[in-house]
Amino acid sequence: MKTITATEPKTKGANYIDAPPAEEEAVISVRGKDRYVVMGMEGDL
């Protein structure tokens, strides 16, 4: 699972999360603690 900091999506934009993932999920850490999990959705909306 990929871990990113909370500031990376802010500074690099949402495309940072949408970049071709090596993993299916990414953990967002806030002040050094894992807080959120971002998961991709399958299928088209």
Write out pLDDT tens, residues 4-17.
888 887 787 766 66
Q: For strand 2-5 and strand 33-39, is the pairing parallel, antiparallel, or unpaired? A: unpaired
| Whether the predicted pLDDT of 43 surpasses 70 | no
Query: What global pTM score does this model have?
Result: 0.57
What's the rounded Cα separation, in Å, for the pair 15 and 17?
A: 5
Distance of CA 23 to the CA centre of its chain: 10
The domains of the chain are located at 2-39
Is 7 in contact with 16 (CB distance < 8 Å)?
Answer: no
- Strand extents, DSSP E, 1-45: 2-5, 25-30, 33-39
